[in-house]
Amino acid sequence: MKTATIREAQHHLSKLVDELEDGEEIILTRRGEKVGRLSPYREPADRKVAFPDFAKIREELGTADEVGENEVLRQRNESL
């Protein structure tokens, strides 16, 4: 990983961009302290999130009243 001072970056930006195009990552320093990083651009990953079919899930579960009623009846029958 290459380092460059802010002054070098100002005076040699084209050269640094060429190095970025070659895949090089560059750490920028000011007075010997790291202050930033230049890295090659990468296309974001194609993230497709598959959401579940909530309508189908809702249909399978039934309404809250039906679910509650069925649960109460189940528990009542178990305790008999």
| Domain layout of the chain by residue ranges | 2-38, 51-80
12-59, pLDDT tens digit by residue?
999 999 999 999 999 999 999 999 999 999 888 877 778 888 888 777
Residue with tokens 């651009």: 41
Question: Nearest 5°: CA angle at 7, between 6 and 11?
Answer: 115
> What's the CATH fold of domain 2-38?
YefM-like fold (3.40.1620)
Whether the model pTM is above 0.85: no
Q: Is 3 left (phi over 0), alpha (psi -120 to 50) or beta?
A: beta
DSSP 22: T
